[in-house]
Chains A and B, each alone.
Chain A
Amino acid sequence: MKNRSWAQLIAPLILLAFPLFVDSDYYRHVVIMALMWVVIGSSWNLLAGFTGQVSFGHAIFFGIGAYSAGLLKMHLGLSPWWGMLLGGPMAMAIGFVIGWICFRLRGPYFALATIAVGEIFHLLFKYFNNFTGGMEGILIIQTFRSKLPYYFLALGLAGACVLTIILVMRSKWGYYFISIREDQDAAESMGISAFRYKSLSLMISSFFTGLAGAFYMNYMAFIDPEVVYSLHYISIMAILVGIIGGVGTIWGPAVGAFIMVLVQETFRSSIFGLAPDWVSEAHALVFGVLVMFVILFMANGVVGDWKKITHLFTGKKQAPSTNGSAA
Chain B
Amino acid sequence: MKRLLTMTLACAVGLAMLSFLGCSSEQKTEKAEKAEKAVVAAPAGDTVTVGIILPLSGGQAKFGEVEKKSFDMALDEINTAGGINGKKLVFMYEDDTGRPDVGRSAAEKLINKDKVVMLGGGYSSSVTFAVAGVAQQNRLPFLINTGSADKITEQGWEYIFRLNPPASEYPKAVESFLTEVVKPKSAAILFENSNFGTSSSKEFNETCQRLGIEVVLLEGYEHGGVDFKPLLVKVKEKNPDIVYMVSYLMDASLLMKQSKELQIMPKAFIGGGAGFTLPEFIENTGSAGNAVFSATLWYQTLPYPGAKEYYDKFVKLYDGPTEYHGAEAYAAAFVIADTLKRAKSFSAEDIRQALAETDMTTVFGPVKFKAYDTKTNQNDVATYMVQWIDGNLELVWPETHASKKYMYPIDWAAMWGK
Touching chains A and B, CB distance < 8 Å: yes
- Which residues does A use to contact B, with CB under 8 Å? 1-4, 6-7, 10-11, 14-15, 18, 21-27, 29-31, 33, 123, 126-127, 129, 134-137, 139-142, 145, 220-222, 224, 226-227, 233, 251, 255, 258, 262, 265, 268-269, 272, 280-281, 303, 306-307, 310, 327
Q: Which of A7, A24, A220, A265 contacts B112 (CB 8 A)?
A: A24
The answer, yes or no, to whether B199 is at the interface (CB within 8 Å) is yes
The answer, yes or no, to whether B113 is at the interface (CB within 8 Å) is yes
Query: Which among B2, B7, B149 has the highest number of chain A CB atoms within 10 Å?
Result: B7
CB of B1 within 8 A of CB of A134, answer: no
The contact sample of 16 A-B pairs, CB cut-off 8 A, is: A2-B1, A3-B5, A11-B11, A14-B12, A22-B19, A26-B108, A31-B18, A134-B193, A135-B197, A139-B130, A140-B133, A221-B133, A227-B99, A265-B105, A280-B95, A310-B6
A29 to chain B: which residues have CB within 8 Å?
A: 105, 108, 112
Closest 4 interchain pairs by CB? A306-B3, A22-B22, A25-B112, A222-B130
A280 to chain B: which residues have CB within 8 Å?
A: 95
Q: Which of B18, B149, B193 contacts A22 (CB 8 A)?
A: B18
Q: Which of A23, A134, A255 contacts B11 (CB 8 A)?
A: A255
CB of A139 within 8 A of CB of B133, answer: yes
CB of A14 within 8 A of CB of B15, answer: yes
CB of A27 within 8 A of CB of B137, answer: no
One digit per residue, 1 when the CB lies within 8 angstroms of any chain A CB and 0 when it does not, for chain B 1-25 equals: 1111111101110110011011101
Q: How far is the CB of B49 from chain A (nearest CB, A)?
A: 12
CB of B15 within 8 A of CB of A4, answer: no
B199 to chain A: which residues have CB within 8 Å?
A: 136
Within 8 A of A (CB), among B149-171: 149, 151
Q: How far is the CB of B92 from chain A (nearest CB, A)?
A: 9
CB of A222 within 8 A of CB of B129, answer: yes
CB within 8 Å for A220 and B22 given contacts A4-B4, A141-B133 = no
Complexed CA–CA distance, A31 and B11 (Å): 12
Chain A residue nearest to B4 (CB atoms) is: A7
CB of B11 within 8 A of CB of A123, answer: no
- Which residues does B use to contact A, with CB under 8 Å? 1-8, 10-12, 14-15, 18-19, 21-23, 25-26, 29, 57, 95, 99-102, 104-105, 108-109, 112-113, 125-126, 129-130, 133-134, 136-138, 149, 151, 193-195, 197-199, 222
CB of B3 within 8 A of CB of A307, answer: yes
A3 to chain B: which residues have CB within 8 Å?
A: 1-2, 4-5
Extra contacts, 14 of them, besides A15-B15, A268-B102 (Cβ < 8 A), are A3-B1, A6-B5, A7-B4, A7-B5, A10-B11, A14-B12, A23-B26, A24-B25, A27-B18, A27-B22, A135-B126, A220-B130, A221-B133, A222-B130
CB of B133 within 8 A of CB of A303, answer: no
Query: Which among A22, A31, A136, A272 has the highest number of chain B CB atoms within 10 Å?
Result: A136
Complexed CA–CA distance, A136 and B124 (Å): 11
Complexed CA–CA distance, A25 and B14 (Å): 18
A272 to chain B: which residues have CB within 8 Å?
A: 21, 25
Chain B residue nearest to A2 (CB atoms) is: B1
CB of B126 within 8 A of CB of A137, answer: yes
Q: How far is the CB of A264 from chain B (nearest CB, A)?
A: 9
Interface of chain B, main secondary structure: helix
CB of A251 within 8 A of CB of B138, answer: no
CB of B112 within 8 A of CB of A134, answer: no
CB within 8 Å for A141 and B137 given contacts A3-B2, A21-B19, A22-B23 = yes
CB of A222 within 8 A of CB of B108, answer: no
Q: Which of B22, B57, B101, B137 contacts A142 (CB 8 A)?
A: B137
CB of A310 within 8 A of CB of B3, answer: yes
B137 to chain A: which residues have CB within 8 Å?
A: 141-142, 145
Q: How far is the CB of A102 from chain B (nearest CB, A)?
A: 24
CB of A224 within 8 A of CB of B14, answer: no
CB of B198 within 8 A of CB of A136, answer: yes
Complexed CA–CA distance, A231 and B4 (Å): 32
Complexed CA–CA distance, A137 and B129 (Å): 9
A31 to chain B: which residues have CB within 8 Å?
A: 18
CB within 8 Å for A26 and B112 given contacts A222-B126, A281-B57, A310-B3 = yes
Q: Which of A6, A281, A307 contacts B8 (CB 8 A)?
A: A6
A251 to chain B: which residues have CB within 8 Å?
A: 4, 7
Complexed CA–CA distance, A21 and B26 (Å): 11
Complexed CA–CA distance, A76 and B14 (Å): 43
CB of A27 within 8 A of CB of B194, answer: no
CB within 8 Å for A224 and B23 given contacts A3-B1, A306-B3 = no
A227 to chain B: which residues have CB within 8 Å?
A: 99-101
B112 to chain A: which residues have CB within 8 Å?
A: 24-26, 29
B14 to chain A: which residues have CB within 8 Å?
A: 258, 262
B134 to chain A: which residues have CB within 8 Å?
A: 221
Q: How far is the CB of B193 from chain A (nearest CB, A)?
A: 6
A265 to chain B: which residues have CB within 8 Å?
A: 105
Chain B residue nearest to A1 (CB atoms) is: B1
Complexed CA–CA distance, A24 and B10 (Å): 22
Q: How far is the CB of B138 from chain A (nearest CB, A)?
A: 7
Complexed CA–CA distance, A14 and B18 (Å): 12
Complexed CA–CA distance, A140 and B104 (Å): 13
CB within 8 Å for A141 and B136 given contacts A26-B108, A136-B149 = yes
CB of B23 within 8 A of CB of A21, answer: yes
Complexed CA–CA distance, A2 and B14 (Å): 23
Q: Which of A24, A139, A303 contacts B22 (CB 8 A)?
A: A24
Q: How far is the CB of B208 from chain A (nearest CB, A)?
A: 19
